[in-house]
Structure 1
Amino acid sequence: MKMMRKGLIGALGLAAMVSTASAEISAVFGGADPLEGVYDRQNQKFVNLVNERGAGQIKLEFIRGEQLGNDVQVIEQVMSGAVQFYGDDFSFYANWVPDLNIVSWGFLFRDNAHVEAFIASDTYKAAVEKLRADQGIRVLAAGPGQVRVMVSTRPIKGIDDLKGLKMRVPEIRTYLALWETLGTAPARVAWGETFLGLSTGVVEGAEGGISSIYGAKFHEAATNVTRTDHVRIIAQIAVNDAWFQSQSPEIQDLLTKAAQDAVKWQTDTVTEEQAETLEKMVADGATVAEIDVSPLRERSEVAVEKLESEGFWPKGLWAEIQALK
């Protein structure tokens, strides 16, 4: 399997080179989101915009789903230049820029306006510049994404019901710390294996963006959907910086504008579809519940000082982001 993946990556890298016999530029967009999930559709929107606006100049190929691997693996391929583009949850970059651990901490952002204020801040700009300078990834656009909720095999009525719950969390250090703080027993299970894990009892709960959970059908294996809204995801589209810098100013402008338009489309779509997607879950047999999240928020805030002392992110950064208007 590994040899096949290496061969595919090598072929994609070769296909992405500019042909000496043609003026058209070819490049590859690597996906990692469930098919028809909101980021899958965001990325398809970007690819379509680029191909339409750059007809005869540039053509992108979109490799959907996890054909190239999970998010971390696709990001590494963008770093190496084997793949040129990637788009999904901004928090995965915390694996290389530790300051970004904070964006996946529970109840950091109040609303979408707060997320946008963060994206406009010097803190965000410094983090994405470090990502570009150290890892060769340029973020072309970012914006508010989905809220993350949880699903479980048993009802969750309050914070006491989280105690000891076997909870699937992504491969992000802060998510692990958050769900430990909230009292669960976190387990690292691959996204693609989570449905089976919920069905067999390997895990009792999972969390994710509303659209992503629906697309992966987690609500069918764990029919209790709880509106914790614990994280507001930042959606993004990024490119290999060396490849981007090798393009003409016209192509760079085309790519940047297409990324901004695609991320904005994603933000608008998420807002419109959220209630509709929850209704679809109910139609499939799930129960959607809203709970008082104040005790969860309070526990997450109490843990901030400890996490900052352990170096999860710089001291005072949480308070700095809270002060953004």
Structure 2
Amino acid sequence: MNQVSTALTRRGFLATGTAALAAPMFLSDARAQDKFVMKIAHTEGIGTPITNAFDAWAKTLNEKSGGRIDAQHFPAAQLGGLAEALEGSRIGTIQVTTAGPDSEEAIAPEIAVLGGAPGFIYKNEEHVDKVLQGELGQKASDIAREKTGVEFVAYGETGFRHILSKRPVASLADLNGLKIRVPQLRIWVDFWTLLGAAPTPLPYNEQYSALSTGIIDAIDSDVFSIIGFKFYEQAKNLTLTGHWFLPKAVRVNAAWLDSLPQDLQDLVRSSAKEAFAEQRRINRENAAKALDELKTLGVNVQSLPPEELAKMEELTAKLFDEFGSKSPETAEMIKAMQALG
């Protein structure tokens, strides 16, 4: 090989080598500038603490990611009801939704327990925090990732649920035959059946019209949703029972999350925890104010007497054993939760 061809070959090698060395940096820079669309869709009402938290979280993600995450927020069932939101989050057609862990009853009953199933399992807000902000909350997220393809990056809450009805409910006897809307989950049907009511499974976004047409006589709900969805327009009696505390897992499609650069994965997780810690604080602080607002809107608010509440708890207590029989892991989770109370 002559000197000219040798020089050309060496020059070509150096050029190729330089390009090869530069390629990872170029690809890394391109990767860093990718934009990741993040559709957040759920059924929570406009103006509720949890919807406001998603608004704040989306803004934080858009700003702190430098535009690399395009967080788009669709509250109040704008992209479909709860079933559609859950399925979308599992298959990745939407990236984020929120729902109670009880929505996983069929797939992972040990997670469903953290959603308040089967009623009266959470004693107070301190008990809720011990469960969800500790090892059990992380364990539930790990199980959700494995079995459903979503990660619980944080826990918000709508709070304790009460009975909103067309006619007053002042005692356990008043529940007899009461057509009360329930989610399309077996545990909720069993709970109200044991109390003598007539549970009626309906999608969340059909509650207002069902109250209006008489398909149902009552719903059980947190106070913020009663205001946000204007359920008070169709039912004027609120009985405070606190029979069910419903946490809201912030569910992110795991495959989408894993597709992000590590810094954006960290941002999603850390900012979610911050946003929903604030949501829980606001939710608890404003619950009394929401009750006062309902009174000004013409809602009759009363508490169920303690002895009647005790009867409700006694009648539904056997559901713990029944629900625990679904799997050894479910029974273990129930015992672990109860031990923290």
**Aligned AA (1:72):** A
Q: Identify the match of residue 271 of structure 1 among 281, 284, 299.
A: 284
Q: CA deviation at 1:131?
A: 1.4
Separation of aligned partners in 2, 1:61 and 1:316: 38
**Aligned partner of 2:95 among 84, 92, 105:** 84
Q: How far is the alpha carbon of 1:34 from its aligned partner? A: 2.0
How far 1:106 sits from its partner (Å)?
Answer: 1.1
Q: Offset at 1:21? A: 11
The answer to whether structure 1 residue 115 and structure 2 residue 128 are counterparts is yes
CA distance 1:44–1:158, shift in 2 (3 Å): same
Distance 1:118 1:125 in 2: 9
Is 1:237 matched with 2:277?
no
SS at match of 1:133: helix
1:35 match: secondary structure: coil
Q: Per the alignment, do residues 309 and 237 of structure 1 end up closer, same or farther by CA in structure 2, a change over 3 Å counting? A: closer
Which runs of 5 or more residues in structure 2 are unaligned? 1-29
CA distance in 2, matches of 1:64, 1:145: 14
> Which one of the candidate residues 208, 226, 229 is aligned to 1:213?
226
Instruction: Output the amino acid matched with 1:127.
Output: A
- Aligned counterpart in structure 2 of residue 182 of structure 1, from 195, 207, 219: 195
Provide the C-alpha distance between the structure 2 equivalents of 1:83 and 1:234, rounded to a whole number of angstroms: 21
Per-residue Cα deviation, 1:196-223 (whole angstroms, up to 9, x for no partner): 2222321111111211122112222111
Change (3 A) 1:22 1:118: closer
Q: Distance between the aligned counterparts of 1:220 and 1:74, measured in 2?
A: 26
TM-aligned CA deviation for residue 310 of structure 1: 6.2
Helix, strand or coil at the partner of 2:94 = coil
Residue in 2 that maps onto 1:300: 316
CA contact (8 A) 1:97 1:127 kept: no
Partner of 1:136 in structure 2? Answer: 149
Instruction: Answer yes or no: is the 8 Å Cα contact 1:96–1:131 preserved in 2.
Output: no
Name which of 220, 225, 228 aligns with 2:241.
Answer: 228
After superposition, give the CA deviation of every residue in 1:91-137 in whole Å (9 maximum; x if it has no partner): 32334312233233211001112112212455443332221012210
Q: Which residue of 1 aligns with 2:14?
A: none
Q: Spell out, residue by residue over 1:255-305, the C-alpha distance to the aligned partner (whole angstroms, 9 max, x if none).
A: 111100111121011112111111111111110111122211222224433
Q: What's the CA shift for 1:20?
A: 8.2
Match of 2:205 in 1: 192
Within a 5 Å distance, the mapping from 1:50-69 to structure 2 comes to 50-69=61-80
Of 207-216 and 296-305, deviating more is: 296-305
- SS of 1:276's equivalent in the other structure is helix
Q: Greater CA radius of gyration, 1 or 2?
A: 2
Higher helix share: 2
Contact 2:32 2:261 (C-alpha < 8 Å) held by counterparts: no
| Aligned mates of 1:276, 1:298 — CA distance in 2 | 31
In structure 1, distance between residues paired with 2:209 and 2:282: 29
Number of aligned positions between the proteins: 307
In the alignment, is residue 40 of structure 1 matched against residue 46 of structure 2?
A: no
Verify the 8 A CA contact 2:192 2:198 in the aligned structure 1.
yes
Name the structure 1 match of 2:111. Answer: 100
Q: Structure 1 residue 61: deviation in Å?
A: 1.2
Q: In the TM superposition, what is the alpha-carbon distance from 1:322 to its structure 2 partner? A: 1.2
Structure 1 counterpart of 2:82: 71
Q: 1:316 to 1:195 in 2, by over 3 A?
A: same
Question: Letter of the aligned partner of 2:316 in structure 1?
Answer: S
After the TM superposition, which of the residue ranges 81-90 and 299-308 deviates more from structure 2?
A: 299-308
Q: Which amino acid counterpart does residue 112 of structure 2 have in structure 1?
A: N
C-alpha distance 30-303 of structure 1, shift in aligned 2 (>3 A): closer
1:169 and 2:182 are equivalent in the alignment: yes
In the alignment, is the contact (CA less than 8 A) between 1:181 and 1:303 conserved in 2?
Answer: no
Instruction: Indicate the RMSD between aligned Cα atoms, in angstroms.
Output: 2.3
Matches of 1:42 and 1:104, distance apart in 2: 25
For residue 260 of structure 2, what is the amino acid of its counterpart? Q
Q: Please give the alpha-carbon distance, in whole angstroms, between the structure 2 residues aligned to 1:236 and 1:199.
A: 30
For residue 84 of structure 2, give the secondary structure of its aligned residue in structure 1.
helix
Q: State percent identity of aligned pairs.
A: 25
Q: Tell me, yes or no, if the aligned pair for 1:33 and 1:88 is still in contact at 8 Å.
A: no
Unaligned runs of 5+ in 1: 1-18
TM-score by length of 1: 0.87
CA distance in 1, matches of 2:120, 2:201: 22
